[in-house]
Structures are given as structure tokens and as C-alpha cells.
Amino acid sequence: MNNKINVKEKFIETASRLFQIKGYNATGLNEILAKSRAPKGSLYYHFPKVKEQLALESVILAGQKIITHVIDALDSIENPVEAIKLNIENIAMIIDNEQR
């Protein structure tokens, strides 16, 4: 069971990274398969709606990462206003770097 979860997570991580770099339309399933090094049958097993489902899972993963970063900043910086400012600046920097 644990191996199934790892393969599924590998697909989500790989798709998420490729969607961020190349965009949804420019990312093909064969590229996701090649980069993840997982069997093709596993892709269809975990994601019957394939690319659309991978995109949805990628958005959920990105949201979870943002939440984790916000919580970490709030825990590490005593002043919550400063922690939120830092997070906003970090998100703006990430968006700015992706647009280049």
C-alpha cells in the first residue's frame, strides 16, 4: 500500500513541477511518465481522468505548500504582521521569478 502512495505522490510532484515550468498545455503525459519513472499503468490506475486530475492534485499540493510556509513563518517570527508580510513578499518573488 505504501508503494502505491509513493507512486501517486511521485506523479503529483512531477506533474506539478512540469506544469509550473512549462504550463498545463505544454506538458504531455509521456513527459510526466518519463520524468516520474513510474509505470504507465500506474498513471491510469491512480488518475482515471489523467491530466485533469493531475492538474487538480497539483493545485491542491501547491496550496498545502503555501499553508505550510505561512505556518512556518508564523511560528518562526514573533510578530504575526511581519510574518505575513514576509510571506506576501516571498509569494510575490516566486510569481515574479516564474514570469521571467
CB neighbourhood size of 9 (10 A): 14
Q: Is the pTM of this model over 0.95?
A: no
pLDDT for the residue numbered 12: 93
State how far the Cα of 36 lies from the Cα of 38, in Å rounded to an integer: 5
Tens-place pLDDT, residues 34-67: 999 988 999 999 999 989 999 999 999 888 888 8
Q: Give the burial class of 51: count Cβ atoms within 10 A of its Cβ; 0-12 exposed, 13-18 middle, 19 or more buried.
A: middle
The end-to-end CA distance of the chain, in Å, is 41
Spell out the domains of the chain, with CATH numbers in brackets: 2-98 (1.10.357.10)
Give, as one character, the DSSP assignment of residue 79: S
pLDDT for the residue numbered 43: 92
Of 87, 65, 62, 89, the C-alpha closest to 77 is 87
